Amino acid sequence: MMEFRKSQVQKLADDSSLTIGDVTTVNLTQLRGGVQSNVVPPLLEAVFDIRIAVTVDIAAFEKQVRDWCAEAGGGIELEFEMKNPFVEPTKIDASNPYWVAFKKALDDL
């Protein structure tokens, strides 16, 4: 997961035309396991905050993550605290009447 994160950071650095929304962001936000330093914990938990770029196939990305878990040796449970379906990006051109009205209001300021 961290190698994928590194590749996305590099992709953003290599192309100045990209913005943060053009890459998938991966942030390790929590690690949990054990209660004392001299005992190997029976369970470890890692929590990642992942924001998937709109150009990424969500099902394919989830399959990739599951494949990484299998490659790591199995015995890994994957749970989604929040998983939203793909939402088409809002069009910001003349085909969207809401955008046209919003843009006109701003232009008139």
Indicate the domain borders of the chain: 2-107
Determine the pLDDT at residue 72.
Answer: 93
Give the model confidence (pLDDT) of 77-107 as tens digits: 999 999 888 888 889 999 999 999 999 999 9
pTM: 0.77
Determine the pLDDT at residue 84.
Answer: 85
Answer left, alpha or beta for residue 34, where phi above 0 means left and psi between -120 and 50 means alpha.
left
Residues 52 and 60: their CA atoms lie apart, in Å, by 11
CATH number for 2-107 (one of 3.90.420, 2.60.40, 2.40.160, 3.30.70): it is 3.30.70
Show the low-confidence residues of the chain (pLDDT under 50). Answer: none
Determine the pLDDT at residue 4.
Answer: 97
Determine the pLDDT at residue 44.
Answer: 95
